Structure 1
Amino acid sequence: MKPDLSIVKIGGAFLEEPRLATDFYKAFAALPGPKVLVHGGGQRATQVSKRLGITPRMVDGRRITDADSLEVAVMVYAGWANKTLVAALQALGCPALGVSGADAGLIRARKRPVKEIDYGFVGDIETVSTQALQGLLQAELVPVFCALTHDGRGQLLNTNADTIASAVAVALADLYRTQLYYCFEKPGVLTDVNDPGSRVPVLDPGRYEAMKASGQIAAGMLPKLHNCFEALRQGVGRVYIGQPEMLRGGRENHTEITL
């Protein structure tokens, strides 16, 4: 029987709110068995960009990354955000190891080709080094990925953290029974973004398309849910989206994504 593995993605907004961050650190550290954490940092990257006179640009929830914006992303994602998380988890006895896709060649990507939109230095994932990642897990380390990959020729690339979490879960699905969690501040997918009581307990592709057509799902939720469904189609066992309490087995604070 394959061992269980938890892959958890946390939004950068949690790092900005001490109470939310503390609750998440405790819930993640308490997860049994091998686990991987993937984090964002877009909110802080936006703040730092504005301080530096760089205007952030987004299209359908995805960041346009020119050369200046890439520098900010590396500073924030691989620096402040990653090491803040690693230090907090270490304080709870969790053997966290901060990594990017470039470290040990863990995730290689290609620069997104220019079509209708030029996303700049944004990477689309090509490969995940399952062998290197499994080696870290077998050493009982907890990889903590920031949202950066590389192209194998020395170029760092900004890569959507939701996509990284999905790709890592898919890459390890042959070796582990994988569960993928997307943690954010809402109690799951909502029919009314301003009403926590409008949670959708289970979301399948049909309802997703209907909610997207009606405008109930838009902006940053679009790439997130796309990655949820792709993970399931490629062998990931279970996918959940909601608040960190779901890591403790809570039932009223998440949406389960199904096919």
Structure 2
Amino acid sequence: MAEALYVIKVGGNVIDNPALLDRFLADFAQVKGHKVLIHGGGKIATRIGDKLGIESKYVDGRRITDAATIDVVTMVYGGLVNKQVVAKLQSLQCNAIGLTGADANIIPAVKRPVKTIDYGFVGDVEPSKLNVAPLKAMLEAGLTPVFAPLTHDGNSQILNTNADTIASSLATALSAHYTVRLIYCFEKRGVLRDANDDNAVINLIDREIYQQLLADGVLSDGILPKLENAFSAIESGVNEVLIGHANDVLPNTTGAVAGTLIR
């Protein structure tokens, strides 16, 4: 049987809250075996952009990444946030290495084509072109890769790319070599039947249950992309996907399920 690998994405309010992030990283550092971390950092990028006089623009909750904004997110995601996370993990005896999709050509992407909306320098991952050989070599060498949500187009252009999608894409590509559990960590305890009730966790969702939840109008808009990424990953070879609270990352890497398991 293939070795276990945990591909873990942390985002939401956890990245923006130093106390929550410190707790999460302390737990993440204790996760045994092979692991990969993917982080966001949108609110920090917005704050830094504001200080620089660069206004953040959104359409339907998605950031428009113009020429000024791609510079900001590259600095914030690939520099400030990524290196702070790596330095913290090093202090916890977790030998982390900070990466973007451009490093070792691991995640090539294409600039999102303009349809009704021009999202600017936003990258769509091409799963068939992921280059995980260098990533596998890092894992086998005992390193813990930490990815910022940035990719590249092969022609020197950095692209802003959804961190959930990067996590799903990496988990899928690595499932050819490992038994992968993809874990999305955020500030909620899982997928909730009632968005206002943190205790209303749906413990298990399969495609049939998912379709019923959609028909019943139970799911909030914010969770839908995570679920679509989850099912896409499972249908492409990932063993399991789990959506849960950042504080539960340790039990969720030791065989338990604290949150919502997607199968």
TM-score greater than 0.5 by the shorter chain: yes
Letter of the 2:35 counterpart:
K
Residues 3, 188 of structure 1: alpha-carbon distance in 2 compared, 3 angstrom cutoff: same
Provide the rounded CA distance (Å) in 2 between the counterparts of 1:42 and 1:203.
28
**DSSP 3-state at the match of 1:21:** helix
- Would the alpha carbon gap of residues 210 and 151 (structure 1) be closer, same or farther in structure 2, given more than 3 Å must change? same
Structure 2 equivalent of residue 58 of structure 1: 58
Structure 1 pair 220–53 and aligned structure 2 pair: CA distance change class (3 A): farther
Q: Per-residue deviation at 1:226?
A: 1.3
Q: 1:205 to 1:61 in 2, by over 3 A?
A: farther
Q: Distance in 2 between matches of 1:218 and 1:118?
A: 25
SS of the residue 1:198 aligns to: coil
Question: Could you say which residue in structure 2 is the equivalent of 1:138?
Answer: 140
What residue is the counterpart of 1:3 in the other structure? Answer: 3
Shift of 1:193: 1.6
Aligned partner of residue 197 in structure 1, secondary structure? coil
In 2 relative to 1, CA 78–192 (structure 1 residues): closer, same or farther, beyond 3 Å?
Answer: same
Which consecutive residues of structure 1, in runs of 5 or more, have no partner in the other structure? none
Q: CA deviation at 1:149?
A: 0.3
| Range 136-145 or range 199-208, more displaced | 199-208
Which is worse superposed, 32-41 or 237-246? 237-246
Q: CA deviation at 1:86?
A: 0.3
The CA RMSD over aligned residues, in Å, is 1.7
Find the counterpart in structure 1 of residue 200 from structure 2: 198
Show the counterpart of 2:27.
27
Structure 1 segment 1-259 matched on structure 2, within 5 A: 1-11=1-11, 13-126=13-126, 127-212=129-214, 215-249=217-251, 253-258=258-263
How far does residue 47 in structure 1 lie from its aligned partner after superposition? 1.8
* 1:70-115 Cα shifts (integer Å, max 9, x gaps): 1111111001110111011000100000000001111100001111
Segments of structure 2 that go 5 or more residues without pairing to the other structure are none
CA deviation digits over 1:121-172, x for unaligned, max 9? 1101122111111111111111000000001110100000000001100001
Q: 1:173 deviation in Å? A: 0.4
Write the distance in 2 (CA, Å) between the matches of 1:215 and 1:103. Answer: 41
1:238 partner amino acid:
E
Change (3 A) 1:118 1:149: same
Shift of 1:61: 4.1
Report if the CA contact (8 A) 1:189-1:241 is conserved. yes
Deviation at 1:20, TM superposition (A): 1.0
Query: Structure 2 length normalisation: TM-score?
Result: 0.92
Distance 1:71 1:14, change over 3 A: same
Letter in 2 for 1:228: A
Counting matched residue pairs gives: 258
Matched AA of 2:135: L
For residue 8 of structure 1, what is the amino acid of its counterpart? I
SS at match of 1:77: helix
1:144/1:249 Cα in 2 relative to 1: closer, same or farther (>3 Å)? same
Task: State whether residues 63 and 119 of structure 2, in contact with CA within 8 Å, keep that contact through their aligned partners in structure 1.
Answer: yes
